[in-house]
Chain A
Amino acid sequence: MSEQGPQQVNRLQGPAPEDRPRPSGRRNSQGIRIDPEVEAEPVPRRTVISALVENEPGVLAKASGLVSRRQFNIESLTVGTTTNPETSRITLVIEEPEPGIRQVEKQLEKLLPVISVQELGENAIQRELVIVKVHGDEPDKVQAVTEMYDGTVLDAGPKTISIEITGDENKIDDAIDAFQQFGIRELARTGQTAIARGDVWTTDVEEERYERMHESWQTTTNND
């Protein structure tokens, strides 16, 4: 127990802050040790993350809630079932510095219904769909622009024309710009969906799952 002394209470001993040595290093705001030679803050990067998830109720709410409450900078989120009716693919487009991207992956992976998560590289196949509804005063010109963007007219009336365009994000942005001249009344965009290019599997468990499913199909067919 402490000695009872005559000194003022609440005075701990030792050199004051300004009398103490300081280490020379530093970290940046993301907790990364800074190499004094190359002092660079990681810059945000736009990327696509694909998550294969169990198709259970609430899984989308869990994923989107996670992304919003952790303040990840999310550009779009889409979801749909896969070849296996028990699973869905969630595609997220995010813009985050490198540590943020890794966190999105790891936090998603922690959700119990999530089977596998993968960041897709630059060359992933990415597509988005937009429906634009423009004023129908100049149908010929609208038709020309639609053809330029490989679009499809879905509905044409005396007052409005609705067109569907599919493509990567830049193409969609450009198309919307081009339709601007007719006056866009409304539009609806789906957000990006994506899949790995070539014979690469989109997330790392998909090959094994595919083979397992394929086998069970074959056994059921053989039994019939």
Chain B
Amino acid sequence: MSEQPPATFDREATDGAETAGSTPVTTGATSVIRALEGAGVETCFGVQGGAIMPVYDALYDSSIRHVTMAHEQGAAHAADAYGIVSGDPGVCLATSGPGATNLVTGLADASMDSDPVIALTGQVPTAFVGNDAFQETDTTGLTAPITKTNYFATDSDSVGDTVGEAFAVSGTGRPGPTVVDLPKDVTNGQTERQPGAPRTPSTYDPQTEADEAAVERAARTLERAEKPVILAGGGVIKGDASDALRDFATEYGIPVVTTMPALGAFPEDHELAMEMAGMHGTGYANMAITHCDVMLAVGCRFDDRLTGGVETFAPDAEILHADIDPAEVSKNIEADVALIGDAGTVLEQLDSEMDRTPDIPEWQEQCQTWKAEYPMDYAAPEDRPIRPEFVVEALDEATPEDAIVTTGVGQHQMWACQYWTYRHPRTWVSSHGLGTMGYGLPAAIGAKVAEPDKQVVCFEGDGSFLMTCQELAVAVRENLDITVAVLNNAAVGMVRQWQDAFFEGRHSASQYPWVPAFDKLAEAFGAQGFAVHEYDEVADTVEAALAYDGPSVIDFHIDPGANVYPMVPSGGDNGQFALSEDQL
């Protein structure tokens, strides 16, 4: 059990401002905690251990809530989800060596998705560094390629400021994970230095406003476009630009396609919404991006799961690329106009530069025709095993429209993209760039801690769930009201789907001859468990699980042969998406 004061869901009550600095800074570790408090941190996730113990000791006197996770990977994912949902960097803690290495997957995940995360890792005392001391690893070396930047704390006086800098860097510009490695002598060492306010170093100065000449060129290009689309990426959500995007698209009548990280950036029930494009995107989204003549890409990095083969990506389109990170512009797809700046600011700049609305009634109609031609639909006959799409829709219908969805990685993740209607930013929490199985449950924990009043639904595959299901212990201990829907097909289904399509159905190591009873597993952890085999049990069970006050797990035994379509084969042409296996 946690030794912290009783957890409270009232964020006001845990506001760090009042208590920050209540006990004087005496050691490097207290300075670390003061720095977190000074940055407004209310919650952190972690696992104890030898080298990080001084920091935990200082945390004992702090009002910051600590959620003890079962595994450090869980701590990193929970912090990541907390960051996505709240918009403030999520904090995770781990000890040296195995604690730090267990964080690595979560940090790589956060890095690929530009999520703000700060990891504080314990380290062996400075004098032992490099000697292969007990539980030593080169944490800064290991995490350099998967962090925005990292720090090795050198002394007790400056360690608080270093943590503040890590915080400021993580959350500004293009967000990303940062690590501060904390040798035990540094955290144990004496200091009375109160850390200053978090600030970024002088060499770090992201540009928020795009160059005026570029804005002018972009506006002229958009005005005369005949087939424009907006491609919204995760940067729209990170930059709190969803309202600006909706206003802009609506004012100029331009259809909006989203990338996977951008689900919720534009309301999917909006007339102009073409929803998600890419490998498992909607047919209409992929038709729109393939046939457009001007693409305004905002806050996206043209990942290969989105573009398919670059040779056939938006082949006729002039690309206007807005991004806060200049290195993303012309990295994968050459931009005709580079708009370096913050998503919301650039959209506002463009809006004030636009002199007229593009005249595009035919294109708008064409987009609607594609929606009618390629509806996201499926047949769900009663006498068959349950279709996974049906389960996703059932949960969507039973929850409020601002409910938060988290997922693992695999087919279930794609169905959650396709068959849930996202209407609000920060309601979709998933592992996009790294594709980390097991992301869903710890992410649901982080999301629920960040937004205790919102309903949180986690979709997991049986394979993905098994990778981090031990975090159920945490959900129970913290009494987090989350609902886990396991779409159980007794297989690592996405792999099996590729084997069906590209390996002549040779199911090498993808079918599970046996899977645990996930409802019983849930009960063993102290959560509520349900199992569903028939269509007519779906609605009632969903209702009961959502009504249960605490974590619940529904083991949905779905059609084991169900595959995800549409599909653009890896490196393929988005306009040539397959609707079924025989079109691959």
Contact check, A113 vs B203: say whether CB atoms are below 8 A apart: yes
Contact digits for A69-106, partner B, Cβ 8 Å, 1 yes 0 no? 10000000000000000000000000000010011001
Contact digits for A4-37, partner B, Cβ 8 Å, 1 yes 0 no? 1111111111111100111111111111110000
- How many angstroms between the C-alpha atoms of A28 and B394 in the bound complex? 44
- How many angstroms between the C-alpha atoms of A26 and B390 in the bound complex? 39
- How many angstroms between the C-alpha atoms of A216 and B148 in the bound complex? 33
Q: Which residue of B lies closest to A52 (CB)?
A: B203
Q: Which residue of B lies closest to A42 (CB)?
A: B334
Contact check, A33 vs B334: say whether CB atoms are below 8 A apart: yes
Q: Which of A54-62, A148-156, A161-169, A182-190 contacts B (4 or more CB under 8 A)?
A: A54-62
Q: Which residues of A contact B169 (CB under 8 A)?
A: 112
- How many angstroms between the C-alpha atoms of A33 and B315 in the bound complex? 7
Contact check, A5 vs B379: say whether CB atoms are below 8 A apart: yes
Q: Which residues of A contact B319 (CB under 8 A)?
A: 33
Give the residue of A26, A61, A66, A69 whose beta carbon is less than 8 angstroms from that of B312.
A26
- How many angstroms between the C-alpha atoms of A14 and B287 in the bound complex? 12
Q: Which residue of B lies closest to A7 (CB)?
A: B379
Find residues 156-213 in chain B having any chain A CB closer than 8 Å to their own CB.
Answer: 169, 201, 203-204
Q: Which residue of A lies closest to B333 (CB)?
A: A31
Contact check, A12 vs B579: say whether CB atoms are below 8 A apart: yes
- How many angstroms between the C-alpha atoms of A3 and B327 in the bound complex? 47
Q: Which residue of B lies closest to A30 (CB)?
A: B334
Contact check, B327 vs A110: say whether CB atoms are below 8 A apart: yes
Give the residue of A3, A69, A113 whose beta carbon is less than 8 angstroms from that of B145.
A69
Contact check, B334 vs A12: say whether CB atoms are below 8 A apart: no
Give the residue of A5, A9, A23, A28 whose beta carbon is less than 8 angstroms from that of B575.
A23
Contact check, B315 vs A26: say whether CB atoms are below 8 A apart: yes
Q: Which residue of B lies closest to A99 (CB)?
A: B330
Find residues 550-584 in chain B having any chain A CB closer than 8 Å to their own CB.
Answer: 559, 562-563, 565-566, 573, 575-580, 583
Q: Which residue of B lies closest to A65 (CB)?
A: B144
Contact check, A2 vs B334: say whether CB atoms are below 8 A apart: no
- How many angstroms between the C-alpha atoms of A102 and B302 in the bound complex? 17
Contact check, B311 vs A26: say whether CB atoms are below 8 A apart: yes
Q: Which residues of B contact A12 (CB under 8 A)?
A: 283, 374-378, 565-566, 579-580
Determine if A120 is an interface residue (Cβ-Cβ < 8 Å). Answer: no
Contact check, B330 vs A61: say whether CB atoms are below 8 A apart: no
> Given A4-B380, A109-B326, A113-B203, A10–B313 Cβ distance below 8 Å?
no
Contact check, A4 vs B327: say whether CB atoms are below 8 A apart: no
Q: Which residues of A contact B426 (CB under 8 A)?
A: none
Q: Which residues of A contact B566 (CB under 8 A)?
A: 12
Find residues 293-333 in chain B having any chain A CB closer than 8 Å to their own CB.
Answer: 302, 307, 310-313, 315-319, 325-327, 330-333
Give the residue of B201, B373, B559, B578 whose beta carbon is less than 8 angstroms from that of A17.
B578
Give the residue of B144, B332, B378, B382 whose beta carbon is less than 8 angstroms from that of A62.
B144
- How many angstroms between the C-alpha atoms of A25 and B318 in the bound complex? 11
Q: Which residue of B lies closest to A53 (CB)?
A: B203
> Given A9-B559, A12-B374, A23–B390 Cβ distance below 8 Å?
no
Q: How near does chain A come to B537, taking the closest CB pair, in angstroms?
A: 16
Determine if A180 is an interface residue (Cβ-Cβ < 8 Å). Answer: no
- How many angstroms between the C-alpha atoms of A6 and B382 in the bound complex? 10
- How many angstroms between the C-alpha atoms of A187 and B287 in the bound complex? 59
- Size category, B interface: 35 or more
Contact check, A17 vs B583: say whether CB atoms are below 8 A apart: yes
Contact check, B144 vs A61: say whether CB atoms are below 8 A apart: yes
Determine if A1 is an interface residue (Cβ-Cβ < 8 Å). Answer: yes
Q: Which residues of A contact B534 (CB under 8 A)?
A: none
- How many angstroms between the C-alpha atoms of A2 and B377 in the bound complex? 6
- How many angstroms between the C-alpha atoms of A220 and B152 in the bound complex? 33
- How many angstroms between the C-alpha atoms of A14 and B286 in the bound complex? 13
Contact check, B152 vs A58: say whether CB atoms are below 8 A apart: yes
- How many angstroms between the C-alpha atoms of A103 and B325 in the bound complex? 12
- How many angstroms between the C-alpha atoms of A110 and B174 in the bound complex? 10
> Given A13-B374, A109-B326, A5–B144 Cβ distance below 8 Å?
no
Q: Which residues of B contact A3 (CB under 8 A)?
A: 379
Q: Which residue of A lies closest to B165 (CB)?
A: A112
Determine if B513 is an interface residue (Cβ-Cβ < 8 Å). Answer: no
Contact check, B380 vs A2: say whether CB atoms are below 8 A apart: yes
Q: Which residues of A contact B523 (CB under 8 A)?
A: none
Q: Which residues of A contact B316 (CB under 8 A)?
A: 23-25
Determine if A107 is an interface residue (Cβ-Cβ < 8 Å). Answer: yes
Determine if A114 is an interface residue (Cβ-Cβ < 8 Å). Answer: yes
Contact check, A9 vs B380: say whether CB atoms are below 8 A apart: yes
Contact check, B378 vs A10: say whether CB atoms are below 8 A apart: yes
Q: Which residues of B contact A33 (CB under 8 A)?
A: 315, 317-319, 334, 336
Determine if A194 is an interface residue (Cβ-Cβ < 8 Å). Answer: no
Q: Which residues of B contact A115 (CB under 8 A)?
A: 203
Contact check, B373 vs A14: say whether CB atoms are below 8 A apart: yes
Contact check, B310 vs A10: say whether CB atoms are below 8 A apart: no
Q: How near does chain B come to A116, taking the closest CB pair, in angstroms?
A: 9
Q: How near does chain B come to A214, taking the closest CB pair, in angstroms?
A: 19
Contact check, B373 vs A23: say whether CB atoms are below 8 A apart: no
Task: Give A residues with C-beta under 8 Å from B.
Answer: 1-17, 20-33, 54, 57-58, 61-62, 65-66, 69, 99, 102-103, 106-107, 109-115
What are the nearest 6 A-B pairs in CB distance? A25-B315, A106-B327, A25-B316, A31-B333, A14-B374, A32-B334
Of the A-B pairs whose beta carbons lie under 8 Å apart in the complex, a sample of 14, sorted by A's number, is: A2-B379, A3-B379, A23-B315, A25-B316, A25-B317, A27-B312, A28-B311, A31-B310, A31-B333, A61-B144, A62-B144, A99-B330, A112-B203, A113-B203
Besides A4-B382, A22-B573, A24-B315, 17 new A-B residue pairs in contact (Cβ under 8 A), listed by A number: A1-B397, A2-B379, A4-B379, A4-B381, A9-B384, A9-B387, A12-B378, A12-B580, A27-B315, A29-B310, A33-B318, A61-B141, A61-B144, A66-B145, A103-B327, A110-B325, A110-B327
